[in-house]
Structure formats: structure tokens, C-alpha cells
Amino acid sequence: MNDTTWLARAIELASINVTEGGGPFGAVIVRDGEEVADGQNRVTRDLDPTAHAEVVAIRAAAKAVGDFSLAGCTLYSSCEPCPMCMASALWARVDRVVYAADRDDAARAGFDDGDFYSLFDRPRSEWGLRVEAQRLASAAEPFEAWLADAERTAY
């Protein structure tokens, strides 16, 4: 199978999801030409704003392979991943992300992530979300414990 076939599968998942009351997004994780896992947008069904198709697929793929690293995998998405999903792909260490529709297609359908794409280029005072740092004396203790743990699993 090739990129076109896997993208068609992601689009099919997205279309099916719409008929079942979900959002118009689907994703597939592939390794060595085999599907590892798939995902559909489950935000409204699960009442989980992080349950985007890509994140659902990444979670399922990590469980399927028994590792938090998805190195060697490709993430196929029916639409350009939003910043959260792209960050998730980076954390999962997928090798490639391939998508069909782009962010402009999504925006025309009411899924405009434009503000999210540019958020970190703006001062925090313009984010529309109060983000405050309150430095406690103990703030670094978890990191010190992490560094001191010779048995830790680095990621």
C-alpha cells in the first residue's frame, strides 16, 4: 500500500465518523506497510477535548506496539494536524506525518485553528488564556528526583 491508499483509509474513517455523530477527522498509524492503529475524532462522544483522531490513533498505536515511541511509523491524517496533534506526533517520534485536507479546508468547515498556530509567536498577554508562573521553592524537586533515578525510562 502507498500514501494515497492510507490517506484514503483516513478519509474513510473521517467520513464514517461524521455519519456516527463525530467530527470529520480520521487517522491511521502505519509501520512497515501494516496498519498499527487508527483513530477517529471522539471529542464530543467522549467529552474529551484532546480526543482528536491523531491523538486517539497515537494512543492506540503505542498500546499496540507496547512502547511510547512510534519510531518507524507514519501518521496518516484526513486533515492537517492541529498544533496539539502535531506536538503529539513529535512526542511519539513518528517518522512522517502525511495529510490530505489542509488547515484552510478545516477552517471553512468551522474548525479554524489559525489562532493556535500563531499562539506562541504572540506575547502571553494576547493569548486569551491567563497563564501565570508562581515559582515555589519546591518547584524543581520532581526534576531533581527524576535526574537522581538511575532506573528511569528516558523519553
Active-site residue set: 54
Which residue's entry shows cell 507496547?
A: 66
The residues with which 99 forms a beta bridge, in sequence order, are 77
143 CB contacts (<8 Å, ≥6 apart)? Answer: none
DSSP letter string, 79-128: EPPPHHHHHHHHHHT-SEEEEEE-HHHHHHTT---HHHHHGGGS-GGGSS
- Per-residue HEC secondary structure of 63-90 comes to HHHCCCCCCCEEEEEEECCCHHHHHHHH
Q: Which helix (H) or strand (E) holds 61?
A: helix 53-65
- The x, y and z cell numbers of residue 94, run together, are 513518528
- Grid coordinates given for 82: 492541529
